[in-house]
Structure 1
Amino acid sequence: MTGDEEAMTAVLNRLRRAQGQLSGVIAMIEAGRDCKDVVTQLAAVSRALDRAGFKIVASGMRQCINGADGDQAPLTEAELEKLFLALA
């Protein structure tokens, strides 16, 4: 995956944060923590993943539209819609 270096750094930071949060959720479940606390942290993981996905789509949209990812053809409107809906 290529793209704006600053955007990709932000995506990687979000994914690393989500990875840490997910490890925390697993530990909470193993420790028998309260359901409310577990669900709250799980929702935070979900939001972090969503934000990473949205950032990837937003930063890579021009490349996707123009087919600038190497040998790939430009994405069709239907393919772009499918990408957005995958994150919805």
Structure 2
Amino acid sequence: MVFEEKMIMNGEPEDEEEEEEEEEEEDMVDPIEVVREKCEATDHCVHTRERLEQCQNRVGSRSSTEEDCTEELFDFLHARDHCVSHKLFHSVK
């Protein structure tokens, strides 16, 4: 009984190992997110993002409009994904 109480108060070694594994998992970064951020900083992606933001501002300033920014969004995503497709597998081990 005393041994069990000490185990509960001190924690089992397995609990400590599980906590360490959880901490390691939190530090992991998805490589695609890193590459996406780098690609969004390229000239072509910056230009397409600016066009998207201009469209969003224009549509948001109107009370009723049929315009949406689907084309601009797809242009931006296409530019970013095109850049990512060339760089992603170089960073994956």
TM-score, structure 1 as length reference: 0.49
Higher-Rg structure is 2
